Amino acid sequence: MIGYGQCPRCGTWTYEHLESHSHCWECSFVPEDLRNKPRSEFERERRLERSRLKEELMFRSLVFVRGLM
């Protein structure tokens, strides 16, 4: 499942569910089982998700700007 939910730790709705893992943008909460993963692997996945998010946001703003012209 991919989307946002309520963080079990801080209670904000910035708890993101991704294909590979879930984490909270607000307090960096990560489910316990993922903490056992090698850190480098986790950081790599996080970077991938971030760049994907950035690309999607750029694409959306491009579509929005085109819609205005």
Work out the angle at residue 13's Cα, subtended by the Cα atoms of residues 8 and 17, and round it to the nearest 5 degrees: 75
Across-strand partners of 22?
17
Which residue, 8 or 56, is less far from Zn ion as judged by CB? 8
Distance CA 42, CA 20 (A): 10
Going by C-alpha positions, the residue among 17, 47, 21 that lies closest to residue 32 is 21
- For the CB of residue 32, give the shortest distance to Zn ion in the complex, in Å: 14
- For the CB of residue 33, give the shortest distance to Zn ion in the complex, in Å: 17
Binding site for Zn ion (CB under 5 A): 7, 9-10, 24, 26-27, 29
- For the CB of residue 7, give the shortest distance to Zn ion in the complex, in Å: 3
Which residue, 4 or 45, is less far from Zn ion as judged by CB? 4
